[in-house]
Structure 1
């Protein structure tokens, strides 16, 4: 069984079943296990009374331990499964747990439902589960903007990048990526506590997402069949504070003819981010629905491309 076939099977399993709530209640989730591992080192080594360089080295060591441990375990599992005639099915199940296409859709849809019913307080609660900004005072348009930004960025981080590394390196590849991405989510912030300790993790996450983010943006643009999407992506992606998130966000902004990014509040402080597609209209709940449709179509395009690559390789 080839790597692409295993990844496609894994993605189908994840799209159909996700990570069931009953299973989460029983054993949590692999990302939670990785997060608990990182938290132990964070508590042990991230001390404010040491120098910036010492905290940076402690964070880098934490990152290396987390990544090598996760990848090593994945390599061992993959090696053992290679001796079983049905090992590829079990490996696909493991890989499926590290893809997040279904959960991403569900989280965004949970924001859309109360917005459709004009229940702004419920929508604020729902969007607070997927973004880090202050949400208690957001309007319907601002909630829509935050949701679409999260959809665009997490399509890359939660779906395309895991698929990318799984196709290249199988279970060890996607496990290593999830360890890096979890490190970035937990300690890769530019806050006083993590600016030094998470610096190595943040830079490493930028590197491993470099190609997937651009692939995601390109797929959004091509799937939309709008030259405007490609134009806005190339024009505005570099304006984003992140070297990667701007690509899928700008492409989605152009595809839906909306503006994304812009000012938001973190920890009671306004952060003035540049606007992507400044000439687009302010997002509305209807744009979330359009964004979800673009997302589904884009995922089908990627699945079709992977299947086509597999089919082509069989004839070589």
Structure 2
């Protein structure tokens, strides 16, 4: 029942600015810990990166076990609500749609807050695609994966997932500084997201009115550069009738990535972003229903 309450609280309140302006968000605290380990241990070797990962996972386990041992369920409920990110995801994606209705320039500014690619040359459809891709990928990373690991291993499982995911987002890059040091965090993040990414695709496919065959989703997911992120995108694209992924630029370098759902429309717009948000809420509602059934059982 703690998970059910946490999901509902997150959906209602999201991340209240008045609170996080006064105290650091748990994700910010996790980021600071990762940064300190990066500064202290990063000698550009896999061994150092593995040590950092062991420290992070061990600390998350200890904190999670201590908090889970507190009387009642409210520690789990409150921490769970803080570390789920459904409402904030919806709000960020909605801002892109709203901004894009004003101008392409406004849309670029809004989508820059949720994607890591170059936005300066993006046209309107590229901005909309970026928002939709972020919606699909972050439904997996920010909602379904935390829910999954909370269900499997309680608060310790949730905290381990979040600290690993945070580490991957900070040091899991193929750069000279992080290719070796961030290797362990990136690989462990892939492992922890393997099942949730496919569950997310299944959820989107289930709630969508317009469906691709599951075989097409598997084939399209394999086109993606990530072993996991391609799955929710491969389900979202045909559900909206649009193409996702495709060519884009990172740090001034053009990347000719293949299209996901290549036969879909290339002219995605703010209305498609709105429809993607509708699918996010439907997938959330189905997840909540499953969590209620599990709690009752």
Give the 5 Å matches for 1:199-218: 199-218=183-202
- Aligned: 1:19 with 2:9: no
Q: Distance in 2 between matches of 1:227 and 1:10?
A: 30
1:176 to 149, 156, 160: 160
SS of 1:270's equivalent in the other structure is strand
How many pairs were matched up? Answer: 296
Q: Does 1:253 align with 2:237?
A: yes
- Aligned 1:195-234 pairs, distance under 5 A: 195-228=179-212, 230-234=214-218
TM (normalized to structure 2)?
A: 0.96
Worse-superposed segment, 13-22 or 244-253: 13-22
Structure 1 residue 291, shift from structure 2 partner: 0.6
Residue aligning to 2:142: 158
What are the ranges of 5 or more consecutive residues in structure 1 without an aligned counterpart?
none
Greater shift, 132-141 or 37-46, is seen at 37-46
Q: Post-superposition shift, 1:116?
A: 1.5
The answer to whether the Cα contact below 8 Å between 1:134 and 1:266 also exists between their aligned partners in 2 is yes
CA drift of 1:231 comes to 4.3
* Gaps in structure 2 of 5+ consecutive residues: none
Q: Cα deviations across residues 205-258 of structure 1 (Å, max 9, x unaligned)?
A: 000000000000011011114341634312211111111111100000111111
- Residues 291 and 231 (structure 1), Cα distance of their counterparts in 2 relative to 1, 3 Å cut: farther
Asked if 2 retains the 8 angstrom alpha-carbon contact of 1:144 and 1:287, the reply is yes
Give 1:73 shift: 1.1
Distance, in Å, in 2 between the alignment partners of 1:270 and 1:29 is 35
Q: Which runs of 4+ in 1 moved over 4 A?
A: none
1:138-182 superposed Cα distances (whole Å, 9 cap, x missing partner): 111000111111100000000000000001111111001001100
Counterpart contact for 1:229–1:250, Cα < 8 Å: no
Q: Which one has a bigger Cα radius of gyration?
A: 1
> 2:176 maps to which residue?
192
2:94 paired with 1:109: yes
Secondary structure, counterpart of 2:73 in structure 1: helix
1:40-79 superposed matches below 5 A: 40-47=36-43, 55-79=45-69
Instruction: Work out which structure has the larger RCO, using CA pairs closer than 8 Å and 6 or more positions apart in sequence.
Output: 2
Deviation, structure 1 residue 71: 1.9
For the aligned residue pairs, the C-alpha RMSD in angstroms reads 1.3
User: TM-score of the superposition, structure 1-length normalised?
Assistant: 0.91
> Aligned partners of 2:57 and 2:16: how far apart in 1?
26
Determine the C-alpha separation between the residues in 2 that align with 1:286 and 1:230.
25
Cα contact 1:56–1:196 (8 A) shared by 2: yes
